[in-house]
């Protein structure tokens, strides 16, 4: 029988959730009090919300001797609630990230694999405040200080949702007590060697003793920061549309913005193309370089930004790996194998045997006025140097180059042209 406190909690909870009718919700279930309460509340309201499915996923990090027991506890708990359950065991490699960050990265990778409209996590107001102070102590800017948003895109199809951010740890623990909910206890959360634990266990209690209402005030401040961040991102999105091109940004258009907006655009550029987030210091240096440079490249955590003919191109670490012709030659009928290579013929396709592969420095293409070195042709057409070694060509059965993708064919092919859609963004007209 729900207690008055439980009813009040569920009413507050239900009042601030989005429209969930027909949605699939997956809860990240660690077994701790917070996630146990979140799953219990969603299970209690699943009919009210009209959910299509409610499930839970547990991530087994293998970092605690009791990890197997925690997984079994979560499985049993989900079964009692009539909720679907899955578990994933991950390898946590601390490396340069440290244990906490590496575990978080592994955990979120599992969340991104869930077949759900929303992945719900049990972060609450106290977690939010700890995140704010950690960001401030580490010199974070607006993005970091605005802490955790209630919702953000996790994948193209899944939203990461934190429905308990308006609730304190004390309120969540009271709900667990009122409903006699059992949960697991992770003793690593009490280890003051971790900065978050030190804040939670020592510094924040002292702050609360001095300023009893600091949490409410700080919660309001974080909400204001999130509003300002949303406004900044709205402006940044408009700026991005003004400078973007097929595979990068226009240098001249970028230079027309103020220094602060230039740096914001470079941050957007790196995020859009998965190049990794630059630090604040490197962002300033990158912007200084781009204001003056005519060519060259800038290294980023997961790739490069290459400046060529007034366009800053994004070159991720896995650049060109998805292009079939960039690896081993794709052999077979020139007519039939083009599709296998991710290419197409415009006009009448040649019928003979041959292959599609990446251009080589000694490739020569026959033209109406003699032979032309393919790399020289690419250079004349202002194809960026970094992409030339991956440019698609078609060769006949004797290995002779007869077509250069998107640019030119040998006279014997008549009007036939080899088209490589993946390479079109690297032609000057695509950046116009």
CA 126 – CA 48 distance, rounded (Å): 28
pLDDT digits (tens, 9 = 90+) for 82-92: 999 999 998 87
- pLDDT for 5: 86
Edge-to-edge strand list for the sheet holding 159-161: 84-89, 53-60, 24-28, 118-120, 159-161, 151-153
- pLDDT for 431: 53
List the domains of the chain with CATH numbers. 4-222 (3.40.50.620), 248-309 (no CATH), 321-426 (no CATH)
pLDDT digits (tens, 9 = 90+) for 341-395: 999 999 988 888 999 999 999 999 998 888 999 999 999 999 999 999 999 999 9
Res. 337: pLDDT tops 70: yes
Q: What confidence category does residue 61 fall into, taking pLDDT thresholds of 50, 70 and 90?
A: confident
- pLDDT for 163: 97
In the beta sheet, which residues pair with residue 222? none
What's the whole-number mean pLDDT along residues 150-166? Answer: 94
Nearest to 311 by CA among 373, 249, 262: 249
- pLDDT for 101: 79
Work out the angle between the directed axes of helices 4-15 and 33-49 (0-180°, nearest 10).
Answer: 70
- Does the annotation place 140 within a ligand binding site? no
173 or 192: whose pLDDT is higher?
A: 173
- Does the annotation place 32 within a ligand binding site? yes
Q: What is the mean pLDDT of the chain?
A: 92
DSSP 350: P
CA distance to 29, 74, 75, 79, 123, per residue, from 120 (Å): 9, 15, 17, 18, 9
Q: What confidence category does residue 97 fall into, taking pLDDT thresholds of 50, 70 and 90?
A: low
Work out the angle between the directed axes of helices 67-80 and 33-49 (0-180°, nearest 10).
Answer: 20
- pLDDT for 69: 94
Kindly report the number of other CB atoms within 10 A of residue 278's CB atom.
Answer: 23
- The pTM of the full predicted model, rounded to 2 decimals, is 0.75
DSSP calls for 258-318: -HHHHHHHHHHHHHHTT--PPPHHHHHHHHHHHHH-SSEEEEETTEEEEEETTEEEEEETT
- pLDDT for 13: 96
- pLDDT for 376: 96
């Amino acid at each position: 029988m729900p207690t008055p406190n439980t009813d009040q909690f569920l009413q507050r909870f239900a009042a601030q959730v989005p429209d969930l009718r027909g949605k699939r919700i997956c809860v990240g279930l660690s077994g701790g009090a917070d996630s146990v309460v979140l799953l219990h509340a969603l299970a209690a309201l699943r009919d009210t919300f009209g959910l299509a499915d409610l499930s839970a996923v547990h991530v087994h990090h293998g970092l605690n001797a009791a990890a197997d027991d925690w997984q079994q506890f979560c499985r049993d708990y989900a079964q009692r609630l009539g909720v679907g359950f899955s578990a994933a065991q991950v390898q946590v490699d601390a490396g340069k990230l440290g244990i906490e960050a590496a575990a978080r990265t592994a955990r979120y990778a599992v969340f991104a694999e869930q077949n759900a409209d929303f992945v719900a996590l049990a972060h609450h107001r106290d977690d939010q405040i700890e995140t704010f102070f950690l960001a401030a102590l580490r010199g974070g800017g607006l993005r970091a200080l605005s802490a955790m948003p209630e919702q953000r895109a996790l994948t193209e199809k899944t939203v990461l949702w934190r429905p308990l951010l308006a609730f304190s740890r004390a309120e969540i623990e009271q709900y667990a007590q009122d409903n006699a909910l059992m949960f697991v206890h992770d003793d690593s959360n009490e280890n003051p060697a971790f900065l978050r634990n030190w804040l939670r266990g020592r510094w924040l209690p002292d702050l609360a003793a001095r300023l009893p209402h600091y949490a409410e005030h700080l919660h309001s401040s974080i909400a204001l920061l999130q509003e300002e961040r949303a406004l900044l991102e709205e402006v940044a999105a408009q700026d991005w549309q003004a400078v973007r091109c097929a595979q990068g940004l226009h240098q001249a258009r970028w230079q027309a913005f103020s220094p602060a907006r230039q740096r914001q655009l470079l941050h957007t550029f790196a995020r859009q193309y998965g190049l990794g987030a630059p630090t604040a210091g490197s962002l300033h240096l990158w912007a200084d370089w781009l204001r003056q440079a005519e060519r060259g490249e800038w290294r980023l955590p997961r790739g490069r930004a290459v400046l060529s003919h007034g366009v800053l191109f994004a070159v991720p670490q896995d650049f060109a790996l998805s292009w079939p012709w960039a690896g081993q030659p794709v052999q077979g009928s020139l007519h039939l194998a083009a599709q296998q290579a991710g290419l197409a013929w415009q006009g009448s396709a040649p019928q003979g045997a041959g292959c599609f592969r990446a251009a080589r420095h000694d490739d020569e293409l026959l033209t109406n006025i003699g032979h032309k070195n393919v790399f020289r042709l690419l250079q004349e057409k202002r194809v960026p140097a970094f992409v030339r070694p991956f440019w698609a060509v078609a060769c006949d059965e004797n290995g002779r180059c007869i077509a250069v993708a998107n640019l030119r064919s040998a006279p014997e092919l008549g009007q036939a042209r080899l088209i490589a859609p993946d390479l079109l963004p690297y032609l000057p007209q695509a950046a116009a």
